[in-house]
Amino acid sequence: MSIADNLLKYKTELDKSGVKLIAVSKYHQASAIQEAYDVGQRVFGENIVQEMVEKESILPKDIDWHLIGHLQTNKVKYIAPFVRLIESVDSLKLLIEINKQATKNKRIIDCLLQIYVADEDTKFGLGYDEAIELLRSQEYSEMKNIKIVGLMGIASNNAQEKQTLDEFMELKVLFDGIKVSFFRKEESFKEISMGMSGDYKLAVEAGSTMVRIGSNIFGKRIIKHYE
């Protein structure tokens, strides 16, 4: 199956459940993204700043770029002019920098708080208490150029289905709690980004609103090293 075929298959399936498809194009060439774009895909996820900046410069301007990987504060400035959603906010320090760079660019940048739900210590993300602490902080209350529109999470690698589903359901419960406590009146707080190629069905079952699918659309990745 071609990239276009794969994409249309997922789009049709996800549209039925009202779930948004983020096509994760990391490590793939701009030509692969163009192929997906040509059949209507507009939202792409990248996890490396340099790669995203390079692709953004040569691809159509109406693409919505989502940053889905760990973001270093010193790199925020490179994506602040164009990024549509930063899905991987994992510290107050990072959020402060995003707000600063968004202000410089006269933009409001949408963000998701990445919540740590996996049973591993290799994944980035905020614990539930840390997320609450961030939302209660004076610094956050004063930010004018960022908007937190939901939560993101990554389930444990190679887990049994039951565990994966439990982790996604845990994220959904956290989302509901945070919604009631902090965003009751804000309609924009509505996204739960969870689910990848191997586990998106379980994520949708647990209430995902956006799934991030890479290899099932673009094929296997060849890992490049930038630094």
Ligand X SMILES: *Cc1c(COP(=O)(O)O)cnc(C)c1O
Q: Does 156 bind ligand X (CB under 6 A)?
A: no
Which single residue is written with the structure tokens 């994966």? 164
Q: Does 215 bind ligand X (CB under 6 A)?
A: yes
Say how many Å lie between the first and final Cα of the chain, rounded: 33
Report the distance separating Cα 144 and Cα 190, nearest Å.
19
Tell me the two tokens of residue 55.
């692709």
Collapse the DSSP code of 128 into the 3-class scheme (helix H, G, I; strand E, B; otherwise coil) and give the result. Answer: helix
- Please work out the total of residues on this chain that contact ligand X, with binding judged by CB under 6 A: 14
Piece of 4-12, 137-145, 163-171, 214-222 that binds ligand X (CB under 6 A)? 214-222
Q: Which of residues 95-124 bind ligand X (CB under 6 A)?
A: none
Q: Are 99 and 89 in contact (CB under 8 A)?
A: no
Q: In b/e form, how buried is each residue of 41-55, taking b as 16+ CB within 10 angstroms?
A: bebbbbbbbebbbeb
Exactly one of 125, 150, 153, 214 binds ligand X (CB under 6 A); that residue is 214
Q: Does 25 bind ligand X (CB under 6 A)?
A: no
Q: Does 125 bind ligand X (CB under 6 A)?
A: no
Exactly one of 26, 28, 55, 66 binds ligand X (CB under 6 A); that residue is 26
Report the distance separating Cα 203 and Cα 195, nearest Å.
5
Which residue number, 143 or 174, has a Cβ lying nearer to ligand X?
Answer: 174
Which residue number, 157 or 181, has a Cβ lying nearer to ligand X?
Answer: 157
Which residue type, as a one-letter code, is found at position 194? M
Exactly one of 24, 102, 117, 143 binds ligand X (CB under 6 A); that residue is 24
In angstroms, give the least distance from the CB of 50 to ligand X.
15
Q: Are 182 and 134 in contact (CB under 8 A)?
A: no
Q: Which of residues 35-94 bind ligand X (CB under 6 A)?
A: 47, 68-69
Report the distance separating Cα 227 and Cα 221, nearest Å.
18
Collapse the DSSP code of 111 into the 3-class scheme (helix H, G, I; strand E, B; otherwise coil) and give the result. Answer: strand
In angstroms, give the least distance from the CB of 21 to ligand X.
11
H or E element: which one contains 163?
Answer: helix 161-182
Site string for ligand X, 165-194 (x = CB under 6 A): ------------------------------
Which residue number, 28 or 172, has a Cβ lying nearer to ligand X?
Answer: 28
| Binding residues for ligand X (CB under 6 A) | 24, 26, 47, 68-69, 154, 196-198, 212-216
